Chains A and B, each alone.
Chain A
Amino acid sequence: MTTKLPVTVPWMTQASMFVRLLAIQASWNYEGMLGNGIAFCMEPALRLLPGGVDGVEYRAALGRQSQYFNANPYLASVAVGALVRAELEHEEPERIARFRKALCGPLGSVGDRLVWAALLPTCALAALAVFGWGGGAMATVVTFLGFYNAINLALRAWGLRVGLRTGIQVAHSLGTRFVRHGPRLLGSLALLLAGFGLPLVVQRIVQPGVALLGGTLAVIVVGGVLLARLHGRVEGWKVALVAQVALILLWAVK
């Protein structure tokens, strides 16, 4: 299945695509979404098409690839790689269009579940646990950025490589164990970290006011359960902001 590309993508070109991937969302908007970003990231490799930057094929490919696309920004690397391969192998434009469309859904839902709904909150909870344990600024920040970006960068690099290697057959490779079972694994870790870290964080922040611990705990549990019950119809941070501003005004005026 993974035959050699008719044109090899030089190392420097791949590096340039990788750097561009970090800015893939720079022109994100509600109509084309990631579309322009996809073309932007593919551009260095499309120069390898016959005729180079002045060729008809280069312009046709860039034009096609800049249209609507939607996916998780990290896993969009898979699309960038796979679409480059499809273009360099001169796939039919009609087939490329179907391929692009079919990529959006899986790369969106797999990526969002893995990155936004698992990796990010897990890393944040790990950092909070370190803070609650008594960690300083450096330890807390390094835990968070190190944990998060090791996976973030590896995911993007892996996606680009796997896409370039497999092209339209990329689905096989998306089924790696980490991608499929990562959300559940990270979720289990996050729940442990949340349970462990939250009491310690409360203790560290509230320290000078231990006398009020009972009331604080009551508000946390009752408020937390209420907000969870509302199923996302209300955003907790907005409710909290309104409550805070009201109390500040009350105490400032009094």
Chain B
Amino acid sequence: MNPVAISAFGVLGGLLGLDTVSFPQAMLSRPIVAATLGGAAMGSPAAGLLCGATLELFALETLPIGAARYPEWGSASMIGGGLYALQGDGHVGGLLTSVAIALLCAWLGGWSMVHLRKLNARWAERHGDAVASGSRKAIVGLQLYGLAADFLRGAVLTLAAVFVAMPVQATVLRTLEVNAALSRAVVVATATAVALSAVWKIFRAVPHARALFLAGVAAGLAVALAR
């Protein structure tokens, strides 16, 4: 990757990280979008989408509810989709390693978000008197600080992944000795198990939940077997 491409990737990572909570929270940061964009940035949106769909299965479990701690999927999914498109697609273990790196980045991203929120609290405290007295400058300033810091957070995370995770993945892919089908099966099985439990946890209170789900499964299996 040349310096221009790396910078562009960092900026995109920063923007997608920003979308998770700060601005505009339009869910461009969901894996199915962010990983596809990451793949597109590396020349293959289709590869990004495959990785993104897999990550989305994991992400179903984590709802970004206010004060809860949750993984940051935006930058992480873009990294996963980008890596899969760049060096994973067509390699044995390519999807498995890209997904694992993305999950790791989501974890790191979530951790960095907790620290950003503490930093926001410190800034708010420092300007507490000005804010309480109704200073427009202080109130608008706090929002802008938060936006800038959150963008930087995502960009730094993305660049770190480019410089650390990319070479690590390349090395692992060279030494990995595993059946291609088995490595994919591991990814799909873990991802879908998480998705299944998430659907049940979120929607089990809906009336006739079991019947609705099973009706869907019947239709899905019919289509799957027919093609």
Q: Name A residues whose Cβ lies closer than 8 Å to a Cβ of B.
A: 22-23, 25-33, 36-37, 39-40, 43, 53, 58-64, 66-67, 70, 72-73, 108, 112, 116-117, 120-121, 123-125, 127-128, 131-133, 136-138, 140-141, 144-145, 148-149, 152, 184, 187-188, 190-206, 208-212, 215-216, 219-228, 231-232, 235-241, 243-245, 247-248, 251-252, 254
Complex CA–CA separation, A24 to B39 (angstroms)? 30
Residues of A within 8 A of B176 (CB): 248, 251-252
Complex CA–CA separation, A54 to B23 (angstroms)? 29
> A23, B143: Cβ atoms under 8 Å?
yes
Give, as a whole number of angstroms, the nearest-CB distance from A106 to chain B: 14
Complex CA–CA separation, A26 to B93 (angstroms)? 38
Complex CA–CA separation, A195 to B36 (angstroms)? 24
> B188, A206: Cβ atoms under 8 Å?
yes
> A195, B214: Cβ atoms under 8 Å?
yes
> B194, A237: Cβ atoms under 8 Å?
yes
> A252, B175: Cβ atoms under 8 Å?
yes
Q: Name B residues whose Cβ lies closer than 8 Å to a Cβ of A.
A: 21-28, 30, 32-33, 36, 39-40, 45-46, 48-50, 53-54, 56-67, 71, 93, 95-97, 99-100, 103-104, 106-107, 117-118, 120-121, 123-125, 131-136, 139-140, 142-147, 150, 172, 175-178, 180-203, 205-209, 212-221, 223-224
Q: Of A39, A70, A141, A239, which one neighbours B66 at CB under 8 angstroms?
A: A70
> A200, B220: Cβ atoms under 8 Å?
yes
Interface of A is mostly: helix
> A208, B184: Cβ atoms under 8 Å?
yes
Residues of B within 8 A of A116 (CB): 63-65
Residues of A within 8 A of B178 (CB): 251
* Chain B residue at minimum C-beta to C-beta distance from A223: B193
* Chain A residue at minimum C-beta to C-beta distance from B129: A63
* Chain A residue at minimum C-beta to C-beta distance from B58: A237
> A224, B49: Cβ atoms under 8 Å?
no
> A128, B53: Cβ atoms under 8 Å?
yes
> B190, A26: Cβ atoms under 8 Å?
no
Residues of A within 8 A of B103 (CB): 237, 240-241, 244
* Chain A residue at minimum C-beta to C-beta distance from B133: A63
Could you pull out 21 A-B pairs where Cβ atoms are within 8 angstroms? Answer: A22-B26, A23-B147, A25-B25, A26-B147, A28-B22, A28-B120, A28-B146, A30-B117, A37-B143, A39-B131, A59-B133, A128-B56, A137-B40, A137-B48, A145-B26, A145-B33, A209-B185, A227-B194, A227-B196, A240-B190, A251-B177
Q: Of B32, B187, B208, B218, which one neighbours A124 at CB under 8 angstroms?
A: B32
Complex CA–CA separation, A200 to B24 (angstroms)? 32
> B46, A208: Cβ atoms under 8 Å?
no
Q: Of B27, B71, B181, B217, which one neighbours A208 at CB under 8 angstroms?
A: B181
Complex CA–CA separation, A133 to B22 (angstroms)? 33
> A194, B184: Cβ atoms under 8 Å?
no
* Chain A residue at minimum C-beta to C-beta distance from B197: A227
Give, as a whole number of angstroms, the nearest-CB distance from A133 to chain B: 8
> A36, B209: Cβ atoms under 8 Å?
no
Most chain B CB within 10 A, of A112, A190, A195, A212, is at A195
Most chain A CB within 10 A, of B49, B65, B107, B216, is at B216
> A22, B58: Cβ atoms under 8 Å?
no
